[in-house]
Amino acid sequence: MRVVVSGGSGFLGSHLCEALVRRGDSVRCLDNFSSGRSANIAHLLSAPGFDCTPCDVTVPFRASGDIDAVVHLASPASPSDYARLPLETLAAGSRGTENLLRLALRHRARFVLASTSEVYGDPAVHPQDEDYWGNVNPIGPRSVYDEAKRFAEALSMAYRRSRGADVGIVRIFNTYGPRMRAHDGRVVSTLIRQALGGEPLTLFGDGGQTRSFCYVDDMVRGLVAMIDAREPGPFNLGNPGERTVRELAELVLLITGSDSGLRFLPLPVDDPVRRRPVITRAREGLGWHPRVPLEEGLRHTVDWFLSQPDTLVRPQEQSAVGRPS
């Protein structure tokens, strides 16, 4: 297949590009590198059929040649990123989504939207299946990401209904693995960075809020299955194994061998208390389910961070010693 991947230099996007290249697809990565890293795709630049085009998907553009699928991953996706780039996050979900829908429609290509479990907000229903409409604060600090993705879903389905676009929507739950940025504000990367640095592990509230953590290789298999499918979704993609954040912190301490303590801070505004996907539709419609146990995935992730010590340094500290931020 000939696949366009927006946000292809990001944590998840780079793994998807790699998987598609590995199976023989031609891949065009689009990225403005606002949160992605060129190092994530450096090993792909010499691969046959891979191309990276620096661009901002919120600006209309055309792509030459044939295209079979467009996968829209481009967006600031971590709390620190969308707090830093609120307008850019909204633009990626609105103008960016429409530009890529138009690209897919021109080429009669499959369009896959990477939505998020954030569309459920702080859910009043547990666990969450795709029929749940969510509990989102439309003006809260997380709303720029939550509402951008909700709008992107609405826009994608409008293109499907009114213009016949071949649309597929996946709602991605917490994903972790190699190539996460140590300072991206995500819970897994933050706890690993703190443990390896000998810092207290930061927990919010009493650490009893739950998440469902899916290893990146499993998530990529789900995305590839959605590219190859013709179902519109939405499909939840995530690991239904629910863990408290405190349990996660204790597991990180065990795996790293760190003697760091725990530090408790007030719970952030609109932070979801519980989150766990129902994945029945993905099992039946895509033949997908996660395979990698949390402890195994965390060990791979810790090993990666240990092999990349520069990633543990804060960007401003990297600049101070002459390294690029």
The DSSP code for 68 is S
Tokens of 38: 């060129």
DSSP 8-state symbol, 117: G
Rounded CA gap, 195 and 202, in Å?
A: 10
Write down the catalytic residue from 145, 159, 176, 215.
145
> Omega into 127 within 30° of 0, i.e. cis?
yes
Looking at the DSSP bridge assignments, the partners of residue 262 are 201
DSSP state of 199: P
Cα(71)–Cα(194) distance, rounded to whole angstroms? 33
Whole-angstrom Cα distance, residue 63 to residue 50?
A: 14
Q: How far apart are CA 151 and CA 230, in angstroms?
A: 22
Look at residues 7, 75, 72, 69 and name the one whose alpha carbon lies nearest to residue 41: 7
The reply to whether 145 belongs to the active site is yes
Residues whose CB is less than 8 angstroms from the CB of residue 281 and which lie 6 or more positions away in sequence, other chains included = 129, 130, 233, 235, 236
Strands 175-176 and 26-31: unpaired
**Whole-angstrom distance, CA of residue 80 vs CA of residue 181:** 11
Nearest to 279 by CA among 111, 72, 175, 127: 127
φ, ψ dihedrals at 243, nearest 5°: -130, 150
Q: Contact, 31 vs 54, CB < 8 A?
A: yes
For the annotated catalytic residues, the residue numbers are 145
